[in-house]
Structure 1
Amino acid sequence: MRWNRKRKYTLITLTAAGVIATATWFGFNQDIFSTKGPFIAEAKTHHENGVTVKEFELTAQTGKQILKDGTKVDIWSYNGYSPGSQIRVTEGDRVRVTLKNDLPEPTSIHWHGIPVPNAMDGIPGVTQNAVRPGETFTYDFVATTPGTYWYHSHQKAVEQEDRGLYGTIIIEPKDPKVKYDRDYTLVLDEWMSGGTTGHEMGGSKTNSGNMQGMDHSKMGNGNQNMQGMDHSQMNQGTQGSNTNSNGSEMDHDTMMKTMYNVFTVNGKAGQSIQPVEVKQGENVKLRFVNAGFQTHKLHLQGQPFRITHTDGQPIENGPVLTDRLLAIAPGERYDIEFTAEGTGNFSIDNHTDSSAAKDMVIPIQYGSDSKRVNKEVDKKEDLPTIDLSKYVKAEPINPNMKFDIEQKLVLDSKMVTNNGKETLVYTINGKTYPDTDPITVKKGQRVKLTLTNPGKYDHPIHLHGHFFQVITKNGQPLNGSPLMKDTLNVRPGETYEIAFVADNDGNWMLHCHDLHHASAGMVTEVKYEGFKPSFTPDPTVGNMPE
């Protein structure tokens, strides 16, 4: 086993590790990969006052994409493919991205996980007006924090992101501590193709018109009213009457897993997934990004690996793991590294409880001419899922630090009557956005939030503009390397305490990144006292922040 790595970081200054020695797969060779998968966005580089400025162009547009043989879908994309062009910059670069909107409706770009200035966060009606069809908007920010991030629409995101409107952005460290021979980005997602029946999913990823799709018309009304998804045909505990083919009732999660029937990696499924090529002895970095609405449990078949980052932030002193499931929730990112031992080809398979999991098998092979191996996934394998709260071993974190603000957020769901129909909404402290109570802070304050999930659905909670530290889980302090994140999956029955410093002025969204839940109410805001947005809301645009 070869782990050639040295890292240092503090709680105040986060330093990510990782740099490309040999760039591969995610479009680094555009002549080969521009027709098969995403590619690197071309940067126009110049200097201003001694600072490197990198400019990019992203065109939001409609198109079609082949996920696998026999499955072609209509997509919305950045620069013609989903995931869209990958943006790669270096820590300290000034980044300017011009969005051109060639879509039939307004859109925006949110830079998920990057602590950008508030005016650049891409939230229609909160930080900017949505970009109308035919218009442009330039996002301008400094790449302050190295790591693996992604970008996506935040205008009607449950529809626009679901159609494929997302991409990745990698901020490489200015002074890397670790060198990698291979650096791959693997974006996970779910799509719907023909043959699915039941609840309508219009406006999402459908198979060239073979699906009517989910009706999202009830999901938002301007930028001030989110009435939630119409689940009147779906069983919610004792409510509703939707059944499967055997006549048994299906709850919300089961319905969602049934409708999303194709799982993809970088926009491809099954045999169309591009193999990860390695050579014996190489130090390999894999960056996983979950752009979908479901948690994916990945298994590196027999290959020892180490988690180095989560949500772009470093994890210190993690053990070498083998045959453990890496559960990646919506919005989360995980970086792992391993040494290619040369003992033979293997696969990364998906142990998620879905028939579509068979599509998400990533071949790892030695050289381009070696035989592709896709081992059949044995669902009977009882493999433990990695629990990051118990995963690292170092000095204990003091859970008794004092905070200026402490607030409890109860994450749940309930049925409400809307226009004579029963509708499922997702709530924070019993309320739905925009009626949820904001978290009001002053700059410099230390904030502790208690996230409790008494319900039946996972809630991956994402905080814009800040990283937070996870300090306790179910009342137990985390002992280990500081766990810094921007997205945290709170599962049924779980309670987490998280803490952050209010160090980025603005009005910031805090919401569930299962965007069906967000669009149906599970959204609030962190608001800084005295902050005034730099834009004037335009009521004619139709701003819809989720």
Structure 2
Amino acid sequence: MFNRRQLLGAGAALVSTAAWSKTANAGLPEAAIMETAATQPPLHPQSGPDYNPVVTLNGWTLPFRMNNGVKEFHLVAEPVEREVAEGMTAYLWGYNGQSPGPTIEAVEGDRIRIFVTNKLPEHTSVHWHGLILPSGMDGVSGLSHPGIPTGKTFVYEFDLVKSGTFMYHPHADEMVQMAMGMMGMFIVHPKDPNFRRVDRDFLIMLNAFDIDPGMYVPKVMTMLDFSLWGWNSRVFPGIDPLPIGKGERARIRVGNLTMTNHPIHMHGYDFAVTCTDGGWVKPEAQWPEVSIDIPVGAMRAFEFDAIYEGDWAIHCHKSHHTMNAMGHDVPTFVGADKRNLTKKIRNLQPEYMPMGTAGMADMGVMEMELPDNTIPMMTGWGPHGPLEMGGMFSVVKVREGLTPGDYSDPGWYQNPPGTQAYEWTGELPEPRKAADAQTQITPRPGSHNTAG
């Protein structure tokens, strides 16, 4: 098992590893793996063209070796255990010890060779989503080449003819293998190191799983009613923040291999959409947004100058996608009186806690005993109380004086005096109400809604 320091060392050591031999697996590049679910520092190039490496949120970049001018990588498709958040682990399929797999980074013009070893119980393949390459390297099992049998290693080799943000995933038993978590990102940096260069470059892969409380393996037949919506197979509060130094130029790349679209919204800023999985958007064609919809099977990247200090939420704007362990058959109790019902239930279950009559926010503060291997629907704490979030949610933390290359959590932002909302105890102006007779304040005086 490798930690990050070992990986960086391995990246240098791999350069001197013996050349690949078609008759001996001993010549394969080291199959580096990662145990931790924390965001790892970027893997800076040690030779060749310069580029600013990406930072994969709660992930890492796969080391490579040079072999006669070719960059060689080694992906291992295998069953993995992924900590979704503290208290919950999922049994997934992934690459090199983790789901999603490690990010692959290279440079426009590189020739790359990727060894793919299959340790799954069935055949697999790897499709290089969005990359321009020979037909026989496209990774569609049965069309491009035969599926990679269990225990075998195939080689993909091609030139990187364009820069941009791409993805990789199986095109063999795709429904099952992708539902089990097999996916990753592929970044091709521009040959010109000054082209679209930014100070911080973050990478997020959107994914979704349907895992019941107490269970570990996703339901592969689910089409829409997923229970966990994640970024890089993590859910809030298990998703790391995005620290950015004030004044830095930042890019966030978001790939979507789920079964639905995701409108990603960032607070505190407007931003320019600068790249799709089809390529870079020309400056005159870029458009401003505060939310960008990521279609299924697509990628969008956006950029902004970090000039406003603070802690700024970033999340999917589908409200169910910022919840954990979503149940889809839960009745609505808003406005109901459950007092009599609660007494009856507590005769059988003394620990019963009535919830939902005034909304669901009380779930953020109640500490209820949970089934094994699950997490609360809404959770996480901020500097002023429960955040009442889950799923696809994190925080962009813009700070003055943040050291370049420092991706550690800077803690919570202290709002300067006079810049934070506060309780008002003085006189209030008369509130305006709708004059339309079809609207009214509810519940009306004397009305009483009961349940039980």
Q: TM-score range by the shorter chain?
A: 0.5 to 0.7
Report percent identity of matched pairs.
29
SS in 2 for 1:96: strand
1:41 counterpart residue number? 62
Contact 2:175/2:220, CA 8 A, preserved across alignment: no
Count the aligned residue pairs.
Answer: 291
Deviations 1:58-117 (A, max 9, x none): 000102111112321111111011110111110110010000001111000000000110
Q: Which residue of 2 aligns with 1:321?
A: 288
Partner of 2:90: 73
Aligned to 1:156: 173
Do the aligned partners of residues 371 and 92 (structure 1) sit closer, same or farther apart at CA in structure 2, a change above 3 Å counting? same
CA gap of 1:28–1:355, structure 2 versus 1, over 3 A, is closer
Q: Residue 396 of structure 2 corresponds to which residue in structure 1?
A: 364
Long gaps (5+) in structure 2 = 1-37, 45-53, 324-389, 403-407, 414-452
Counterpart residue identity of residue 70, structure 1 = G
Q: Is the 8 A contact 2:274 2:286 kept in 1?
A: no
Paired amino acid for 1:286 = I
C-alpha separation in 1, matches of 2:156 and 2:233: 25
Shift of 1:156: 0.6
- Distance change (3 Å), C-alpha of 1:337 and 1:106: same
Report which of the two structures shows the higher radius of gyration computed on alpha carbons. 2
TM-score by length of 1: 0.50
Alpha-carbon contact 1:152-1:166 (below 8 Å) kept: yes
Specify every segment of 5 or more residues in structure 1 that has no aligned partner in the other structure, as ranges: 1-23, 196-205, 216-254, 374-546
Using the TM superposition, give the Cα deviation of residue 169 of structure 1 relative to its aligned residue in structure 2, in angstroms. Answer: 0.8
Match of 2:128 among 78, 102, 111: 111
Residue 208, structure 1, aligned to residue 216, structure 2: yes
Mapping 1:39-438, distance limit 5 Å: 39-47=60-68, 52-175=69-192, 176-195=194-213, 207-209=215-217, 213-214=219-220, 256-258=223-225, 260-316=226-282, 317-318=284-285, 321-323=288-290, 325-354=291-320, 356=322, 358-365=390-397, 366=399, 367=402, 368-372=408-412
TM superposition shift of 1:329: 1.4
| 1:28 is aligned to 2:36 | no
- SS of 2:156's partner is strand
Q: Distance in 1 between matches of 2:97 and 2:232?
A: 13
The alpha-carbon deviation at position 306 of structure 1 amounts to: 0.3
Conserved 8 A contact 1:149-1:333: yes
State the 1:322 CA deviation: 4.7
Q: In 2, Cα distance between the equivalents of 1:36 and 1:283? A: 17
Shift of residue 177 of structure 1? Answer: 2.0
* Equivalent pair of 1:279/1:342 in contact (CA under 8 Å): no
User: Matched residues in 1 for 2:126 and 2:107: separation?
Assistant: 20
Provide the rounded CA distance (Å) in 1 between the counterparts of 2:170 and 2:322.
25
* Cα offset, 1:29, TM superposition: 6.0
| d(CA) in 2 for partners of 1:116, 1:369 | 39
Structure with more contact order per residue of length (Cα contacts < 8 Å, sep ≥ 6): 1
Q: Report deviation, 1:46.
A: 3.4
Shift of residue 354, structure 1, vs aligned partner:
2.4
Higher strand share: 1
Distance 1:109 1:153 in 2: 4
Question: Structure 2 length as normaliser, TM-score?
Answer: 0.60
* Per-residue CA distance 1:268-322 (angstroms, 9 max, x = gap): 1111101111000000011111121111111111312100011141212245635
Q: Alignment partner of 1:341: what SS?
A: coil
Q: Contact 2:224–2:259 (CA<8 Å) still a contact in 1?
A: no
CA contact (8 A) 1:25 1:184 kept: no
Contact 2:168 2:184 in 1 (8 A): yes
- C-alpha spacing 1:101/1:354, structure 2 compared with 1 (3 Å): same
Q: Closer, same or farther in 2 for the Cα pair 1:369/1:292, shift >3 Å?
A: closer
Tell me the residue number matched to 2:432.
Answer: none
SS in 2 for 1:272: coil
